[in-house]
Structure 1
Amino acid sequence: MRKQLQYTALAGMLVLPSFLGHGALVEAETTGKVASKDEVVYATLKANGELGPIYVVNTLDVARAGEILDFGKYESVKNLTDLTELEQVKEEIRLDASEKGKFFYQGNLPEGTELPWDVTVTYLLDGKKVEPADLAGKSGELEIFIETSENEGAGSVFYENYLLQVSLMLPNTYQDIEAADGMIANAGKNKQITFTVMPGQEEKMTVTATVKDFEFDGVQIAAVPSTLPIDTTGTESMTEDMGQLTDAIKQLNDGVAELESGVAELNDGAGQLRDGSSQYKNGIGKLNGSSAELVNASSSIQDALRKINAGLSGDAGQVDLTALAELPAGLTELAAGLKETADGMAVFKENYAKAYGALDGAIKEIPAKQLSEAEIAELYKSGANPATLDKLVASYSAAQKVKGTYNQTEQAFAAVEPSLTQMEAAVREMSGALSTIVGEISTSLKETDLSGFSELQKGISRLSANYGEFHSGLVGYTGGVGELSTSYGKLHAGLVELSDGTGELENGVVGLEDGTTELYEETKDLPEKMQDEIDKMIQEYDKSDFKPVSFVSPKNEKVSSVQFVIKTESIKKAEPETKEAEPEKKKGFWTLLKELFK
């Protein structure tokens, strides 16, 4: 009786708790009544996963004592509750429950019974496959590969609805224990490695370690129904966060589109500025090129006036007025040249005003607010093309440099147009003065006689002296034009670089806008897609509506739970052989007598 109680207690400890509700209660045509039934299937596999013996511990919840009928394709059965014999006829097992409560019995399944899962365990030592029997006591780099898959010959109901908990123990003395996708926990002097295989999934698990004097308790697999409902309350905030992300991406895309439009306008303005600057540069170049001729002509006039003045300073009777008569024509030509110069300066001033206006407007379009290094770093994290962003940042830096340079030289640019106005007025005034002088000289020559020669001499002397000042001013003016032409050449080169930079900037922003548009198109439906995936996952793994069925016979209708406990054989070193002690020789009478007196 004591041994029977031990069987009963052992069976009670082996049975895992039930996770499922009771099935429909159907009374058998017997005197006893069963409220529910639990089945725990125990399977021992060889060390490589090949199938070994299988038995089932059945737990019947007896609601009314008496004879009870159960079903199962067993090779043999054993009562684990009392000494009563069980009657087995084919698949029918009749038992006599003397009282209400739990009744345990074991059914041994016949050889060839298959589990719902195929299990394969492979061992590699130092990269070479080793048979389990040859692995005990070895040392080196160990790899254990555990594979689970569906056994299509055993039906799919358990494979589709049960999750597997695969665990194994390794001593803490082993080094570098690793398990990809597995959980490693301390369990006393051992490390416990646990993997979870979801329902309907094949899995390949790997454990690696550096072992010494290897021994192994085997792989343990518990298969239980995946009936715990999945809590989805946390998914709502997750999809909301994803929605905020897609909204932010849309705002980023809209902002980049506005940036692309503004950069396009900036690039157009820079192009117009470059073209106007080119015209201005060519005009001032021509003006500078004619300065030498203008100075040479003025120098000739100055020399002629000096000669005339020197000639008139002598005796009036000896003065040759022929050269003086040629003076009005030279002065008239110079006056015309100055007038042409003034007209050119007027055109030049007009073109400069347009170019300066375009330059000022384009540069002021460049945003004054500068991006921080943190903002640029965030832009690189947005997922845009890094090469495009490099061009964008380089163009942005160039634009900010041009804006800074312009801000420092803006007053100089603004002073050019008033200076041109003053220069034009001065040149026109000189041209008018020369025309007046020409008129006065011509009149004087027509009306001159020796009595008025002294007045003519004084007038020519004053003209020669004043013209020297005029010539000096003209030389200074042409020198200024030369410096302006040289300096503006450098400025124009900078404007060309600015135009090229804004062109690259526009191309970069266009690429960036394409990238953010593509990113938005790919992520705008992300919250809905994510929710669909969550719903799909819940539908795939939430088995809360699963109703258990018997593993041993479809005739069992009161099944509450069915669970599997699967274990591979251990790998142990062989026990050393011990020599049997030689039997002690029997001592004779005289020997015993001698020992008494020792």
Structure 2
Amino acid sequence: MKFSKVKQFFKSKKVVRVGACVLAAIIVAGGTGAYHVYGQKAAAVQDSTQKTTDESENDTDKEENILKQVLKSQTDGEETTVDKEETVYVVADPDGTPNEVIVSDWLKNHSGAATLEDVSDLKDIENVKGDETFTQGADGALTWQADGNDIYYQGTTDKELPIDMKMTYYLDGKEISPEDLAGKSGKVTIRMDYTNKEKTEDGVYVPFTAVTGMMLNKNFTNVEVTNGKVVSDGNNQVVVGFAFPGLSESLDLDSKDLEDIEIPDYVEVTADVEDFSLDMTMTFVMSDILQELDVDQDIDLSGIEDAIDSLSDASNQLVDGSKELADGTGSLVDGVKAYTNGVSTLKSGIGAYTDGVSQVKSGVDAYTDGVAQVAGGTKQLADKSGDLKDGITQLVGGAMQIQTYFAGDDGIVNGAKKLSDGVNQLDVALNAGVTDEEAAQAETAAKQTVEQMFGQDTDVYKGVAQQAAAVYSNGVKNSTDLSDSVTAALKDTFKQINPTLTDEQAAAYAQAMSQQLINSIADNTSASVGQIAAESAKSGAEQGAIAGAKSGIASTKSAIAAQIEQGGLVSGAQTLSAGVQKLYNEGIEPLAVGMQSLNNSVPELMKGIQTLNNGAATLNDNSAALKSGVNTLNSKGSELNAGAATLDNNSGTLNDGTAKLNDGAKKLSDGMIQFDEEGIQKLSDAYHGDVEELLDRVDQVLDAGASYHTFSGLKDDMSGSVKFVIRTEAIETK
């Protein structure tokens, strides 16, 4: 699109008015010094707009002057020292799709030089404010014949924009195209989504700020704006929205538990609308807003860092100390509890002791009386020990005799085992089937029997041979197929021998000779066929007889084995053997060993009885001294009991005091841990983790904004600035 077409577009009173209102609304809606740069621009445009409204729409010269003021208001900021200021104008469809891109550049001739060097990738470059010319070199190099003047030039480009704006329209909650929305009524939502496509090598986006303005007519009511504000001038409402696409991702807020910090990347307008129409919208995109907020000023955090580190160290020491105090008081409580429990136990024990002493006194009295009786009994035992020794000797002899009946090769145990093994062997042999020897005997007997019945001289053998020969002879002689085959062969033979024969003659000869030939063959071979049949019958009888004999032997053995097993002979013999062995192992043999040990112990038993008798006499002699000592213990028990009661009464006070001390120490420790974990350490972690890293990301973002100077090109030794102005077409009822 040529520059003349841009001028024609901006000559419209409506366009100039909307642009001026948007710029003015930025100041009202922003409420921050971030937009002070555009205050002077908005004021200049508003003045021009008001004058233009009062004049004729056809006054082309004045409207062109207004256009120049608007363009200048977008490139003139506060006094700057940059060498090149660039404004990118984008004309887009109502859905934000770019149609044409026009770039306006202002080269500042600070030194009044005769020529100005520049770099640009624009096409269709033309001087829009003077008649200075340029020459173009390689790689987009431009040399302007400036003659000491600033250069204002413009060109076109089809390169991709660093930021996209998508406008989506909804009617009563359903998406609708802008064309279909025109003239409709209902709840309308307009959403503007901004996509940042300009990333640095550090992985952060250039911090573009998108400011979108639109003028809503009186048909819009109940207007609400997400990420923006509404300013009313009486007849119209001006909506201004703000977005920072890519900034949240650049600051990596999601990974730093800062999701609650919302940085807008869209603007949404909702309103009740009658007969929908919308004038064009204008969006300003800048990369240097954050610099103008002075957020890049260095912050000296070294003192805070040292203080946080010292606070963290001191908190850790307090946590350790309070824990040691709590552990120590806990040990003290445990010790006091053990002490008081011991005192209580001591009191109970002393009470039980004094009661026990009294009981012991009674017991000792009974004991001394019993000792006298025991002494008399042990004397009688010693007197009868000789008879006890003789009885034990006789008992041991009987047990040893019983063992001889069960032990040895001919004993009961070995005999029961031999019986069980024999029954098992018989059962295995019966279940093993027909042996080779039995099979051979059965085969010999079967062959002898068959030979007696089917010998060559027997009538049975001859009868089978004769009958088979007769069947064979009749079958051959009466076979039509055989007769036809032989006749055909003879016919061919006759024809070969005598080619002069006709088919009828050859056939007649063959017919006459074929039956004679077949009858001769049948008569001559029938005897041999009969003998072969008789031999086959004899062989079959032999095989059947052998198989029957073997099967009979196997069935007989299996029946006997079943009778043995079902009768319980096998299991009974096994049970008997096991039972006899168990009786010997667990009864007879241990009894014999025990009896032998008893017999060997008789001398010691006799000696022990004598010792017992002597000891009982000694106990009886000392009973008087024991009785006297117990009486003394019983008399002192009341004094011991009173002292234990005093200790027990005072232990409760000590226990309560240590418990309170321990509770206080635990609360102090828990409080210090909570204070350290939820306060000091989180503060330290936040500073050393998220805060420092976030500040680093902020620096990278600011650097990215400060480094983005141009869209179309800039010489290495030049400074520059760039802004984008996106205008969408109006939506009007057809």
User: Structure 1 or 2: larger strand share?
Assistant: 1
Bigger-Rg structure (1/2)? 2
TM-score by length of structure 2 reads: 0.42
TM-score by length of structure 1 reads: 0.50
